[in-house]
Amino acid sequence: MARLEQLEILSRRIFIGRMKGERRSKRRGESVEFADYRNYVVGDDLRFLDWNIYARLERLLLKLFLEEEDLNVSVLFDTSGSMDWGDPHKGLYVKRVAAALAYIGLVNYDRISLYGYSSRLVQEMAGVRGRRLIGQVVTFLRRSALGGTSDFGAVARHFALRHRGKGVVIILSDFLDKGGFQDGLRYLLSRDVDLYVIQVLAPDEIEPPLAGDLKLRDVEDDDTTEISISQPLLKAYQSGLQAYCAGLRDYCTRRGITYLFTSTRVPFDTLVISYLRQRGLLR
């Protein structure tokens, strides 16, 4: 919690820039921000006539303002059993990133929805607006338990069916999902949303500190694999991991999904401040 408090200060600086940079509304709206003029046509609201222009030019011009839309930011974070692992802890890391993003969104008056998922959407905090609700967000994140198997495909399908609105969808997960990630991403792509994929892995998963003859037990589904650690096996594991991550990245890049890989060893504030800005999630 202390780290989240600290994060607030860190996020203030981000607030100077604005969230969702390119994402200006196509509609002219009723905001205070002037956008353009256009000729008056019968039927327009007389309130928006620029009387100063009429006084000078005797022409009726209508002031157009930018419509300030609120942005739907959905953060899907993985709460499956595999996230309850690692040193630094993956689940905690993901929650912190989610909290940081939520805070940024709240400060920016975006609509923030947080979903924790494993085999289905297990925790949900939808439609939060306003920075004073950050306490609720943090509480929600703290209370969301880790466990269960992950089924990203089912979750994504469910999510896509429920949420028809536009917006930003950020997925925080390790993507160690035996059901694969392709189906889930395809469901989400079918909605007209900006997708951000952040893959979080623990350092022990990148370079496993294992030796000897082992019986590996999966924390999610109790699946076991017997291995005898050897140099070729470690090499095969690492090349497999790289291939897996590269596959995910390629899949995302090809479909316009922004992909980011991170290890929990990278401090999450560095991730939020530097990496996410580089990737265009933040400005």
Partner 1 sequence: MSFLNLWALWIAAAVIPALLILYFLKLRRREQRISSTLLWKRALHDLQVNAPFQRLRKSLLLLLQLLVLAAAILALARPIVETSAAPEGRLVILIDRSASMNTVESDGTRLDEAKEQAVRLVRVLDRRGGGWLSFLRLRGAQARIQAMVIAFSDRAAVVSPFTPNTAELVDVIRAIEPTDGQSHIREALELAEAYIAPPTMLTDETPVGTEEAARVVLFSDGRIADLAEAVLRSGQLELIKIGRARDNVGITSLVAERSYERPEVVNVLLEIENFCAEPVTASVALYIDGQLSDARVRSVELAAAEDSAAGQPGGDEAARPGPGARRGLSFELILERGALLEARLSRADALDVDNRAYAVVPTPRRQRVLVVTENNFFLDSVLAGLPLQERVFITPAQYAAGGAEYVRDERSTYDVVIFDKCSPAALPIGNFLFLKAVPPGDDVQVSAPLDDVHVPVWWDEAHPILRHVPLDYVYVARGVALRAPEDAEVLIEGPQGPLLLRHARGGRHCLVLSFAVEDSTWWQRASFPVFAYNAIRFLGGGGVTERERVRPGDTLRVVLPEGVTETRLYGPDGGTATIVPDASGASFFSGTRRVGIYQVRYRQAGEQRTDYYAVNLTDARESDIRPRGADELGTPGIAAGRAIETATPEIWRWFVGAALLILLFEWYVYNRRVMI
What single DSSP character describes residue 226?
Answer: E
Determine which residue in the list 126, 145, 161, 216 makes contact with partner 1, applying CB under 8 A: 216
Do residues 123 and 116 make contact, with C-beta atoms less than 8 angstroms apart? yes
Give least dist CB 18 to partner 1, A.
37
Cα 211–216–219 angle (5° rounding)? Answer: 130
Determine which residue in the list 146, 156, 202, 276 makes contact with partner 1, applying CB under 8 A: 202
Q: Which stretch binds partner 1 (CB under 8 A): 18-26, 45-53, 164-172, 204-212?
A: 204-212
Category of 241 on φ-ψ map: left (φ > 0), alpha (ψ -120 to 50) or beta = alpha
Give the span between the Cα atoms of 188 and 139, in whole angstroms: 27
Comparing CB distances to partner 1, the nearer of 36 and 223 is 223
Q: Which stretch binds partner 1 (CB under 8 A): 34-42, 138-146, 155-163, 215-223?
A: 215-223
Determine which residue in the list 217, 255, 277, 279 makes contact with partner 1, applying CB under 8 A: 217
Determine which residue in the list 147, 227, 249, 251 makes contact with partner 1, applying CB under 8 A: 227
Comparing CB distances to partner 1, the nearer of 82 and 108 is 82
Give the span between the Cα atoms of 152 and 175, in whole angstroms: 8
Q: Which stretch binds partner 1 (CB under 8 A): 8-16, 56-64, 230-238, 266-274?
A: 230-238
Helix 90-107 with 134-143: angle, nearest 10 deg: 160
Q: Which stretch binds partner 1 (CB under 8 A): 31-39, 129-137, 171-179, 267-275?
A: 171-179
Do residues 81 and 118 make contact, with C-beta atoms less than 8 angstroms apart? yes
Comparing CB distances to partner 1, the nearer of 161 and 236 is 236
Question: Total number of residues binding partner 1 (CB under 8 A)?
Answer: 40
Q: Does 241 bind partner 1 (CB under 8 A)?
A: yes
Structure-token match 């699946």, residue found: 223
Do residues 125 and 139 make contact, with C-beta atoms less than 8 angstroms apart? no
Q: Does 58 bind partner 1 (CB under 8 A)?
A: no
Q: Does 183 bind partner 1 (CB under 8 A)?
A: no
Q: Parallel, antiparallel, or unpaired: how do β-strands 258-263 and 193-201 relate? A: parallel
Structure-token match 């007389």, residue found: 46
- Among the listed residues 119, 26, 125, 120, the one whose alpha carbon sits nearest the alpha carbon of residue 73: 125
- By CB under 8 A, name the binding residues for partner 1: 82-83, 85-86, 90, 174, 176-178, 202, 205, 208, 210, 212-220, 223-234, 236-237, 239-241, 244
